[in-house]
Structure 1
Amino acid sequence: MNPRTAAIRTGWTRGLIELRQSFTNGMDLLSHVLWPTLMLIVMFFLRDRTFGSSGFHLGTLALPSILGMNAAMGMITMSQQLTADREDGTLLRAKATPNGMQGYLVGKVVSVSGGLLADLAILLIPGLLIIDGLATGSPGSWLTLLWVLLLGMVATLPIGAVLGSVFSSARSQGLVQLPVMGLIGISGIFYPITSLPEWLQWIAQATPIYWLALGTRSALLPDAAVSVEIGDSWRHLETVGVLGVWMVLGLVTAPIVLRRMARRESGSSVAERREKALKRVG
């Protein structure tokens, strides 16, 4: 077995271990359950409110959108975990082993994407019980949901790795989260994007968050719901195109940025970050 294959297998095993640990650790388990629960509560109160004269309930429109949003939020999780591992020296240890960075990244992709799929199931299964009007009766709906989520995760997780490489401290993650939350607010997640000013619509359409949400809406909403979308169309080709561009951009950029970041890592830099952390705690 060549070293690269061994590193990938090691990364896969590491990712599965981290995923299993996240469902046996109390705080990690709470983080898996808390956000979907909050979203379900929001949709429960929106279930009987309609959007304009369309007749569609906001809860029905929001559930598929929130699924897409949660998939996009994987880039935040990836960024946070990579930054934390950089700060405590985990990345430095990975760098010191042959093909260790490759194995590390495979492990993170496995654990983060596995956690995302579990979170989506925690949201979707109860959501189907409390939200009416979803079009889930055909295999085509589930196939569309599958390819949108898979393409979306491949498009966004490398972006999270890039963001995690830029910041050396977990305290700086707010600089990532705040802009992302702002983009979520204008991406038609909780309210149709067509109700926003046109210039905000253009900003939202430049991000993968909007297209992920649009794709999941196209999978789970009835055909008549397309009337509240831009151009009265689900725009599947555009969804593939935009997410594909983000995927290529991330897959090309992430290895370059990670290699440069790994070259700058040293024992002294890790010790310096630990010293600063201890001073903040003290």
Structure 2
Amino acid sequence: MNHTLYAARLGVSRGLHEFRQGVASSDQWFNVIMALIFLTVLIFQRDATVDGTSFSLASVTLPSMLGMMVALGGLVGVSSQLSTSKEDGSLLRAKTVPGGMVGFLVARIVQVILDTLLSLLVILIPGVFLVNELVNAGITGWLTMLWIFALGLLATLPWGAIISSLTKTMQSTFGFTMLPVMGLTAISGIFYPISAIPDWLQVIAQVFPIYWIGIGMRSALLPDSAMAAEIGESWRQLETIGVLGAWAILGLLLAPTILRRAARRESGSALERRQNLTMQRATSG
């Protein structure tokens, strides 16, 4: 069997195993808490309607939240996992094993995909019962949601890996992912229609994937009459494919080179320096 394919198979198996371990761990309380927060927001939005439509604000917010979770999974999820792997030496160990880097990266990708999917289900399943408008999405809507999910991860996963490769500590990785994501979320029409914000902020939002994943999810789960609240009163699916595809292609072209350079910098002395720095921070804190 081809060594690369064998390493990839081992990576899939490892990713599945680590996902199952994560589901059984206390880390999943974060998903539960986030779901409760989001569902509370939806409850308060059920009686408000979107201007120009008869739809509740909750029915527009829920699909947008799902889009935000995809972006968080792709950017923050993979970057935090890679940063953790650098801190605990997993990346260095993978580098020393034939085919280890392939298996390592495949495992991270599999785990992030499954973690993100679980996060969506934790919000979507109870959300459907709260938001009646989503019940009639139909098979076409659910299929659209699947390709938006896949394309959204393709557009964000490589960039999460790139950011992690360029940063030295978990704290700096978090700062370069979570904070920009929250800022872009605020202007991307996730919690209220994007048409309500100034035009220049709308332009900025449309450059980045979060807006396009959000509108893609809305196009999947809402009827066409909800387009009245969108820019140009259109779901803009061709533009969604174009922008997310461009981010995916550029990220996939850049990520392998940057990841290889980051892996070459990994050494026992570099790991020791990071661990000493972490211990110093813990002691001083």
Same fold (TM over 0.5): yes
Deviation at 1:2, TM superposition (A): 1.8
1:157-177 Cα shifts (integer Å, max 9, x gaps): 111111111112112112321
* Aligned match of 1:217: 218
Cα distance in 1 for partners of 2:246, 2:112 equals 22
The CA distance in 1 between the partners of 2:252 and 2:98, in whole Å, is 21
Aligned partners of 2:137 and 2:220 also within 8 Å:
no
Moved more, 209-218 or 152-161: 152-161
Aligned residue identity for 1:217: R
Aligned to 2:3: 3
On the 8 A contact 1:135/1:222 being kept in 2, the answer is no
Gaps of 5+ in 2: none
Question: Aligned residue for 2:60?
Answer: 61
Alpha-carbon deviation of 1:132? 2.2
Local SS of the residue matching 1:133: helix
User: Is contact 2:52-2:228 (8 Å) kept?
Assistant: no
| 1:135 to partner: Cα distance | 5.5
1:233 paired residue number: 234
Residues of 1 paired with 2:45 and 2:230: CA distance? Answer: 19
Q: 8 Å contact 2:61–2:190 — kept in the other structure?
A: yes
Q: Cα distance, 1:137 vs. partner?
A: 4.3
With 116-125 and 126-135 compared, the bigger mean Cα shift is at: 126-135
- Count of residue pairs the alignment pairs up: 281
Question: Is the Cα contact below 8 Å between 1:18 and 1:111 reproduced in 2?
Answer: yes
C-alpha deviations, 1:61-111, integer Å up to 9, x for none?
100100111001111111111111112211000111112111111000100
Deviation at 1:51, TM superposition (A): 2.3
Separation in structure 2 between the aligned mates of residue 23 and residue 38 of structure 1, nearest angstrom = 20
Give, in whole Å, the separation in 1 of the partners of 2:40 and 2:131: 11
Alpha-carbon distance, 1:136 to partner: 3.1
Q: Which moved more, 1:134-143 or 1:216-225?
A: 134-143
The alignment status of 1:252 with 2:253, answered yes or no, reads yes
TM-score, normalised via structure 2 length? 0.96
Measure the CA separation in 2 of the matches of 1:134 and 1:128. 6
Q: Which amino acid aligns with 2:138?
A: S
Shift of 1:3: 1.2
**Does structure 2 retain, via aligned residues, the 8 Å contact 1:50–1:56?**
yes
Match of 2:40 in 1: 41
Q: Please report the TM-score for the alignment, with normalisation by the length of structure 1.
A: 0.97
In the alignment, structure 1 residue 78 sits paired with structure 2 residue 82: no
Residue aligning to 1:190? 191
Asked if residue 157 in structure 1 is aligned to residue 141 in structure 2, the reply is no
How is 1:126-205 mapped onto 2 (pairs within 5 angstroms)?
Answer: 126-134=126-134, 136-172=136-172, 173-205=174-206
Unaligned runs of 5+ in 1: none
> Are 1:22 and 1:29, in contact at CA under 8 Å, matched by a contact in 2?
yes
Counterpart-to-counterpart distance in 2, 1:204 and 1:115: 26
2:137–2:223 Cα contact (<8 Å) kept: no
2:119 corresponds in structure 1 to 119
Give, in whole Å, the separation in 1 of the partners of 2:151 and 2:179. Answer: 24
Q: Would the aligned equivalents of 1:162 and 1:257 in 2 still touch at CA under 8 Å?
A: yes
In structure 1, C-alpha distance between the alignment counterparts of 2:2 and 2:55, rounded to whole Å: 56
Deviation at 1:279, TM superposition (A): 1.1
Does 2:110 correspond to 1:102? no
Contact 1:64 1:216 in 2 (8 A): yes
Native 8 Å contact 2:128 2:135 kept in 1: no
> Which secondary structure does the structure 2 equivalent of 1:180 belong to?
helix
